[in-house]
Chains A and B, each alone.
Chain A
Amino acid sequence: MEKIYSRPKALQNRATGYCPGCLHGTTVKIIAELIDEFGIQDSTVAVLPIGCSALDCWSFETDMIISLHGRAPATATGIKRNAPEKTVIVIQGDGDLASIGLAEIMHAANRGENLTVIFMNNGIFGMTGGQMAPTTLIGQKATTAQGGRTEAHGYPMHMCEILNELKAPYYIQRCAMDSPAHVREAKKAIRKGLENQMNGKGFSFIELMSNCPTNWSMSAEKSIEYMREYTLKEFQIGVYRDGGEK
């Protein structure tokens, strides 16, 4: 028998820092697979944010830097502008990117920085214990919206659609991580994002709809069902821009 699926080399030989069933782990794995497939382990820099995505530092076997909260696109700009031969992968969660880091992501996108940004959207602040994020659904419970988010807290922010208003971005896609077929689609999107960067095409943004079993207070299986029933209805998956065209 031939091995047809194995653990990627670009992963450290340890368990992830993530809770059981968290799709962050799946995301790190498919990025690591792509790093292996492109043979870019020695030239990749993972720019990690503050939040659960920072736990990627226990997973990637590549160069890494943890940036400050929300500022990963700025740190990545500093790296890529000075070391253009590196493949710079920015990974941010929704609290990091859509709340405190809104300015940095908008302006990195608007400058068309030659980066690949992976946006993990699970609709909640995971690491700090389940507070409301800009992406939390109306009615979805959070520790700072215990009866569920109301309109007074604003509405879920759709980052792909917002970024798609800008002229500079090259590639924008929203994927979901809820099924093997969707994960394979997400991997394809990230592959495109990395190819774009290696070909000097500019800013690629891939939003990955994810889960948070711990802070959604449900099992991993239930969190998948919740995604399909609620979050994926609010956040439509699809290609928003490919090749610089809307």
Chain B
Amino acid sequence: MSKLFIKGNEAIAEAAVRGGCRFFAGYPITPQNEIPEYMSRRLPEVGGVFVQGESELASINMIYGAAYAGVSSLTSSSGPGLSLMAEGISSLAASGFPAVLVNMMRGGPGTGAIQGAQMDYMQATRGGGHGGYRMPVLAPGSVQEAVDLVYEAFDIAWKYMTPVLVVADGYIGSVMEAVELPPMKESKRKEFPLYTTVHLNPENPHRRSSCTMITNEVDHEEWNKVQAAKYEKMAEELVRCEEFMMEDAEYVMVAYGTSARVARNAVISLREQGIKAGLIRPILIWPYPYEALRKLDPAKVKNIFCLELSIPAQMVEDVRFGVYDRIPVTTYGRSAGLTFSEEDVEELVKKTIEGGEK
């Protein structure tokens, strides 16, 4: 297969189309604008529909309608837009509707900075909307991986009947890389059976009513239990991470997305200098790869470095949950659109080693 030199955001859009996406609704926000721009010209070519929503609120609710109609659909935005969409995402989850959402993270909170950052970790992994739902969160570390994960995200959405969030940062969205694109999947509208229809109204199987219509408390709780079981199943089946040079690692970086690119280079450089560094890179940040941290041997691993393009550190809560204070954890990051270099990471590791030897 030939490689295509393409910008991250456009690669994501094309991967979505090839993964079966036939409806896109979204509202302009930096740094993801190439996604709706690409979709506006690409979707009509494959018989799909593009609508520029009047707001993120309208856009996510168009996705809600499209999902109900049984179409694979995509919306993309950045942190502030995701905040506006929160109620709609919660409703997609509450109804068990499949959809894929992309968050090209920027610096936050509030309006934040339009440059890339990783400031939406908590929003992404702890729901973002109300009501205590869970959804898979894919965190690609390169344009190629963004393509592969967005493509796969539609399968995950339909397999588990859930919204799926892809979080990348402005760097992955803006950078151009050579990628291999997956083959075009056939995409057909599928009016999936709804819980309300199958379980609550079996004498009328042709009626499709959304799950928010369950007005009986006992049935509603039963649906919540079905959902909770689904969250546990996803948590078991979807954990994925990359472990790089971890066999004998004494200094372990934990990083995802763009931070992991920098961390990986730092690991290589530190190894060249005789320092046994390694990297754990979560590919999904929910469910989180706790096991990769739990299995670390405190007799061997001297320090963990949680690296993020975020101040304050956010992922550290998951890292500590995996480590249980058995190994010291150092957090490091930049924010507001600033990045750290592999030299910064090397210096951090070396300083920690010196400090430990005093």
Contact = CB atoms under 8 A, between A and B. Distances in A.
B55 A103 contact: yes
Contact of B88 (A61, A64, A71, A79): A71
Given A42-B206, A77-B51, A78-B23, A104 B215 contact: no
Interface string B195-216: 0000000001011111011010
Given A75-B62, A82-B66, A104-B58, A68 B91 contact: yes
A79 B69 contact: yes
A58 B216 CA distance: 12
B61 A78 contact: yes
B54 A67 contact: no
Contact residues on B (Cβ < 8 Å of other chain), bracket: 35 or more
Interface string A55-69: 001100111111110
Contacts of B59: 74
A129 B61 CA distance: 26
B68 A65 contact: yes
B65 interface: yes
A86 B67 CA distance: 15
Contacts of B12: none
Interface of A: 42, 45, 47, 57-58, 61-68, 70-71, 74-83, 86, 103-104, 106-107, 111
B351 interface: no
A74 B65 contact: yes
Interface string B59-91: 101111111111101000000000000011001
A77 B65 contact: yes
A103 B54 contact: yes
Given A57-B213, A82-B66, A67 B61 contact: yes
B210 A65 contact: yes
A21 to B, nearest CB: 22
A115 to B, nearest CB: 11
14 contacts: A63-B207, A65-B68, A66-B212, A68-B87, A77-B65, A78-B23, A78-B25, A78-B65, A78-B67, A79-B65, A79-B68, A82-B71, A83-B70, A103-B54
Given A57-B213, A63-B207, A74-B62, 19 more contacts: A42-B206, A62-B207, A63-B208, A68-B61, A68-B64, A74-B58, A74-B61, A74-B64, A77-B51, A77-B58, A77-B62, A78-B61, A78-B73, A82-B189, A83-B69, A83-B189, A103-B58, A104-B61, A107-B54
A71 B189 contact: no
B213 A81 contact: no
A81 B58 contact: no
Interface of B: 22-23, 25, 49, 51, 53-55, 57-59, 61-71, 73, 87-88, 91, 189, 204, 206-210, 212-213, 215
A78 B95 CA distance: 16
Contacts of A57: 209, 213, 215
Contacts of B206: 42
Nearest to A65: B210
Centre residue among B58, B206, B207 by max chain A CB count within 10 A: B58
Contacts of B209: 57, 63-65
A82 B49 contact: yes
Contacts of A63: 207-209
Contact of B23 (A47, A61, A71, A82): A82
B64 A67 contact: yes
Given A62-B207, A63-B208, A81-B23, A75 B54 contact: no
A201 B66 CA distance: 21
Contacts of A106: 54
Given A57-B213, A58-B215, A63-B207, A79 B55 contact: no
B195 to A, nearest CB: 13
